[in-house]
Structure 1
C-alpha cells in the first residue's frame, strides 16, 4: 500500500493509493499522516477502509505532493553506510553505525525546490532509503524485533553542504540542517509491498547525467540492524525518519565534479518507491 499527502504546505490531504493507482482520501480516518496516525494502527485502518470501498476518491492531478509523513519528530541519519561511498570519500568502513541528527524541519516534498544556502559552494546530493517508524522502538531485543516497528519506506535526498559539514565544524550539523535539505517521498510504501529492503536499486541524476547507481545490498548495516541499534541509544517514535546512507557517486567523492548550482535539476528513484525531482534555487 502507498500513502501520500497532497496539497499546499501545511494544508495537505492524506491519501492512499489502490493497486491501480487510484487515489482515495483518508480524511474520514485522520487529519494527517503523522506519528499519531501511525501509532493508532492507522495503516491497518486505511487498508481495511480501502478494501471495504468506504473511502472517497480524490483527484490529485495538478496538486503538489508533500512529504508522506507530516512533522517527523526527528530525522536520524547514518553516515558512510555503503562500502563504495566510504571508499570514494577516503574513509574507513565503520565498525559501528555513524549516527547524526538532522533538523526535522528540513523535510519537504519530493518535488519542492531545494534552496542553496547563502555562501554555499559545495551543496551536494545523496539518494537514500528512508525508514519511517510506525511503533515505538525502545531497547529492542534484536534486529528481528525491529521489523515490527517499521511503518514503511520512502525516498530521501539527504542534501548536504560539504564545506559547512566538514570544514566549518567538528560536527556535521551545519552542513545537514539547512532549509529544504531533506526532500522525502513521494510515497510511504508499506513493508509488505516493498519486500526485501536489502535488494533495492537506488539512482540519482544531475541535469540528466547519472551520478549514483547503487543497491541497498551494499549497505554496511542493514535496515533491521540500524533500527535495533538506534533503539539502544534513543527512543524511536512513530513518525520518526531514518536516512540509511547513500551509495557512491556524490560530488564529494568525485574530484572535478561540480557541486549543485542554481537551476540544476536532481532526479532520484528507488525500486518500488517512486521518483523525485528537484530544481535548485538560491536561498
Structure 2
C-alpha cells in the first residue's frame, strides 16, 4: 500500500492512498482520519483493513502532491553508506554510521523546485532510499528495528559541497540544509510491500541521463543497524525520516565535476517505491 499527502480545495492537506499517479482520499474511506503521528504508528493490520476504494473514488493527483511527511521532527542522514560510493570518494570504509542532519525546512515534495542558493557554486545531487519511522522508540536493538519502520519513500539529499567541505572546520549541517535541499516523495510505500529493502535499485536521472545506479545491497550499514545506532542517542518518533545514503556517481566525484544548474531536472528512482522529480531553479 502507498500513501501520499495532497493539497485539498480548501487549502488544507489530506492523506490519500496513492496508485500510479492517482489518489483516493482517506476521508472518503473513513469517518475520521487520524493525524500524521497516529497514522504512521498504526499497525499494518489497520491499513490492511481499510475498505477497498471504488473506481470512481480514484482521481488524478495532478499537481496536488505534497511532501508525504510534513515537518518531520528529525531528518537524519547517513553519509558514506554505500561501499561503492565510499570507494569513489577515496574515503575509508567507516566503522560506524556517519550521521548528520537536515532541518525540516529542507523538505519539499514531488514536482516542487530545488532552489540553488546564490552563495554556492557546487550544488550536488544524491539519490537515496528514505525510511519513515512509525513506532516510537529508543535503544532499539537491530533485531527489533523493523518493528519501528512504517515505510519508505524516495529522497534527494541535495548538497552544497563548497559549504560542506570548503568552509572552516567543514560545515556538513549548513552544506546539507539549505531550504529545499531534501525533496521526498511522491508517496510512502508501507514496509509490508517491500519484502527486502536491502536489495533495491537506486538511481538518479539528471536531464534524462542516468548518473547514479546501484542497489541497497551495497549499504555498509543496513536499516536495522542504522536504527540501532541512532536510537542509542535519540528517541525516534513517528514521521521521523532517515536518509540511508547515496550510491556512486555524485557530481563532486566526477572528472570534471558535475554540479547542478538552473533548469536541470533531477529524478530519483527507487525500485518498488516510485520516481521523485524536481527541477532546479
- Give the TM-score normalised by structure 1: 0.91
Displacement after TM superposition at 1:24 (Å) = 1.9
C-alpha separation between the residues in 2 aligned to 1:21 and 1:245?
A: 26
Larger CA deviation: 82-91 vs 235-244: 82-91
Contact 1:24–1:55 (CA under 8 A) maintained in structure 2 = no
SS of 1:185 mapped into structure 2: strand
Displacement after TM superposition at 1:258 (Å) = 2.3
Larger CA deviation: 54-63 vs 204-213: 54-63
Q: Does 1:163 align with 2:165?
A: no
Structure 2 equivalent of residue 62 of structure 1? 62
Displacement after TM superposition at 1:280 (Å) = 0.5
Structure 1 equivalent of residue 37 of structure 2? 35
Contact 2:21–2:61 (CA under 8 A) maintained in structure 1 = no
Q: Does 1:253 align with 2:253?
A: yes
C-alpha separation between the residues in 2 aligned to 1:2 and 1:153?
A: 9
Report how many residues are paired.
276
Displacement after TM superposition at 1:106 (Å) = 0.7
Contact 2:63–2:111 (CA under 8 A) maintained in structure 1 = no
Structure 1 equivalent of residue 225 of structure 2? 225
Deviation digits for residues 70-110 of structure 1, max 9, x if unmatched? 22111000000011111111111100100011101211102
SS of 1:186 mapped into structure 2: strand
Deviation digits for residues 150-183 of structure 1, max 9, x if unmatched? 0000100000000011111433011111011011
Which 4+ runs in 1 deviate beyond 6 A?
none
Unaligned runs of 5+ in 2: none
Displacement after TM superposition at 1:206 (Å) = 1.2
C-alpha separation between the residues in 2 aligned to 1:95 and 1:78?
A: 13
SS of 2:59 mapped into structure 1: coil
C-alpha separation between the residues in 2 aligned to 1:118 and 1:183?
A: 19
Contact 2:6–2:61 (CA under 8 A) maintained in structure 1 = no
C-alpha separation between the residues in 2 aligned to 1:209 and 1:54?
A: 38
C-alpha separation between the residues in 1 aligned to 2:89 and 2:3?
A: 35
C-alpha separation between the residues in 2 aligned to 1:71 and 1:43?
A: 23
C-alpha separation between the residues in 2 aligned to 1:110 and 1:63?
A: 9
C-alpha separation between the residues in 2 aligned to 1:21 and 1:276?
A: 12
Contact 1:49–1:55 (CA under 8 A) maintained in structure 2 = no
SS of 1:184 mapped into structure 2: strand
What pairs up with 1:1-283 in 2 under 5 angstroms?
1-7=1-7, 11-17=12-18, 23-27=23-27, 28=30, 29-30=32-33, 34-39=36-41, 41=42, 44-51=45-52, 57-140=57-140, 142-170=141-169, 171-281=171-281
SS of 2:60 mapped into structure 1: coil
Contact 2:152–2:273 (CA under 8 A) maintained in structure 1 = yes
C-alpha separation between the residues in 2 aligned to 1:13 and 1:42?
A: 20
C-alpha separation between the residues in 1 aligned to 2:279 and 2:148?
A: 34
User: RMSD over aligned Cα, in angstroms?
Assistant: 2.2
- Give the TM-score normalised by structure 2: 0.91
Displacement after TM superposition at 1:66 (Å) = 1.2
C-alpha separation between the residues in 2 aligned to 1:184 and 1:256?
A: 28
